[in-house]
């Protein structure tokens, strides 16, 4: 488990680093930090390992630039992550070294006295540890969410995540509207950990967002909405910048998989509807559709209704499917559908009758709207049209 060079560049201790070569190698992984010092001058090759972030003052090459090119070649052969040079002896590098590093996509940085080796090593190491910890937690959540995971294993994993969890819980999931990188998520979480010490809650990175699990001793005497809003405030999440999906309250850690899935599905519904905060209880039929969206029978159901309309439009250059979508969005109201499409009501009536004809449902008024409504909702979910 590791971070990338690009991730590390967002650390405060590296803010004054100047990239002089290897810009296409910033996706290299960093596993650890090492220092290239005087004792390695005779034999650099093999002294460092793959993924090592190398710091150096280049003391060993201060009087002989040829030693520098040899060092760069050896580091590249060892497949280290990058080289960061403190500008004590070299404030710039010869063009041939820069060209060589560029050809190998090997990042080289130069930095000044505003950064100290100790701070850089500490910050990068802490970031790697944080990412390792979050990836371990993510792996445990993935196991919890697997369909065949038993309730006893779910409980065991829940208590591995936090052995201070109470039995009653609620989960919510937060995702940036414009995802930047995991560093921003981790930064939010690290600040939360420093400022908050509630052992009964867990807040951590999951996928591209933040998963929060808050637990209480008593389920009925808890104002869960207040609990959620307070925790969002403590995490310092700006609700204008995030989508937030909130699951239901549950009275057993055995149901942690259900609670987390509720929060993920609430977020999906809210994200597709461009709604900042969405409660699972408020997403209606999507509570059924979202968990099974990829199921063969769900897909087969909606395609049997949508495909004939798409084929008719393609063959006749019509707007039958768009009319069906607007009809469902307006709750089956002909007048409102006509207004939304800037059409006469009789035009809409004609198109709806044509839809019934295409689908062989002319004698199924009530069942027609019910099936069409569900099919349109699945179609919009599957094609990210909400």
pLDDT level of residue 196 (50, 70, 90 thresholds): confident
Which pLDDT score, from 0 to 100, does residue 283 have?
A: 92
CA dihedral 17, 22, 24, 26 (to 10 degrees): -40
Which pLDDT score, from 0 to 100, does residue 292 have?
A: 84
**Percentage of residues in the chain having pLDDT higher than 90:** 67
Kindly list the structural domains of the chain, giving each domain's residue range(s) and its CATH number in brackets, ordered by start.
3-122 (3.40.1390.20), 150-291 (3.30.70), 293-382 (1.10.10.2840)
CA-to-CA dists, residue 132 to 2, 19, 34, 186, 207, angstroms: 7, 26, 19, 11, 13
Rounded Cα distance, 67 and 231, in Å: 55
Which pLDDT score, from 0 to 100, does residue 126 have?
A: 86
In the structure encoding, which two tokens stand for residue 250, read together?
A: 């549950």
Q: With contact defined as beta carbons under 8 Å apart, do 81 and 108 qualify?
A: no
Taking only the tens place, the pLDDT of each residue in 228-265 is 999 999 999 988 999 999 999 999 999 999 999 999 99
Partners of 211 in the β-ladder: 173, 204
User: What is the spatial order of strands in the sheet that 201-206 belongs to?
Assistant: 201-206, 209-216, 168-176, 242-246, 277-279
C-alpha R_g of the chain? 29
Which pLDDT score, from 0 to 100, does residue 43 have?
A: 60
Taking only the tens place, the pLDDT of each residue in 124-162 is 998 888 888 888 899 999 999 998 899 999 999 999 999
Which pLDDT score, from 0 to 100, does residue 199 have?
A: 86
Higher-pLDDT residue of 180 and 56 is 56
In the structure encoding, which two tokens stand for residue 182, read together?
A: 């995991």
Which pLDDT score, from 0 to 100, does residue 64 have?
A: 86
Extract the runs of DSSP E, i.e. beta strands, from the chain.
3-4, 18-21, 29-30, 32-35, 52-56, 82-86, 108-111, 168-176, 201-206, 209-216, 242-246, 277-279
pLDDT level of residue 328 (50, 70, 90 thresholds): very high
In terms of Cβ atoms closer than 10 Å to its own Cβ (0-12, 13-18, 19+), residue 71 is buried
Rounded Cα distance, 223 and 149, in Å: 31
Which pLDDT score, from 0 to 100, does residue 173 have?
A: 97
Q: With contact defined as beta carbons under 8 Å apart, do 290 and 339 qualify?
A: no
Mean pLDDT (whole number) for 183-190: 82
Find, among 153, 165, 154, the residue nearest to 212 by Cα: 165
Report H helices in 209-254. Answer: 224-235
């Amino acid at each position: 488990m590791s971070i990338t060079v690009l991730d590390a560049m967002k650390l405060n201790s590296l803010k004054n680093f100047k990239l002089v070569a290897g810009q296409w190698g910033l996706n290299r992984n960093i596993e650890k930090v090492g220092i290239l010092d005087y004792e390695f001058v005779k034999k650099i090759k093999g002294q460092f390992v793959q993924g090592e972030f190398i710091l150096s003052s280049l003391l060993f090459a201060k009087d002989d630039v040829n030693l520098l090119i040899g060092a760069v070649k050896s580091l590249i052969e060892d497949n280290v992550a990058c080289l960061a040079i403190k500008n004590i002896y070299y404030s710039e590098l010869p063009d041939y070294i820069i060209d060589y590093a560029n050809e190998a996509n090997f990042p080289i940085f130069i930095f000044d006295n505003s950064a100290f080796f100790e701070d850089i090593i500490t910050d990068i190491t802490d970031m790697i540890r944080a990412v390792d910890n979050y990836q371990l937690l993510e792996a445990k959540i993935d196991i919890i969410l697997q369909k065949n995971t038993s309730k006893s294993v779910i409980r065991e994993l829940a208590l591995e995540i936090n052995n201070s969890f109470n039995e009653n819980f609620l989960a919510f999931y937060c995702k940036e509207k414009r995802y930047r990188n995991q560093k921003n998520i981790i930064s939010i979480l690290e600040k939360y950990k420093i400022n908050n010490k509630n052992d009964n809650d867990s807040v951590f990175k999951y996928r591209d967002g933040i998963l929060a699990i808050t637990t209480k001793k008593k389920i009925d005497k808890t104002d869960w909405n207040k609990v959620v809003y307070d925790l969002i405030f403590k995490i310092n999440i700006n609700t204008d910048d995030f989508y937030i999906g909130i699951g239901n309250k549950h009275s057993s850690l055995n149901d942690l998989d259900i609670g987390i899935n509720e929060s993920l599905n609430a977020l999906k519904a809210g994200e597709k509807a461009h709604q900042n905060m969405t409660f699972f209880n408020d997403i209606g039929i999507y509570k059924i559709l979202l968990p099974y969206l990829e199921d063969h029978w769900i897909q087969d159901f909606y395609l049997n209704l949508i495909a004939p309309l798409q084929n008719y439009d393609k063959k006749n250059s019509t707007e039958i499917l768009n009319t069906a979508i607007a009809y469902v969005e307006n709750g089956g109201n002909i007048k409102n559908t006509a207004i939304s499409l800037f059409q006469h009501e009789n035009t809409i009536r004609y198109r709806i009758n044509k839809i019934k004809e295409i689908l062989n449902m002319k004698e199924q008024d009530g069942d027609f709207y019910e099936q069409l409504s569900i099919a349109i909702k699945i179609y919009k979910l599957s094609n990210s049209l909400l």
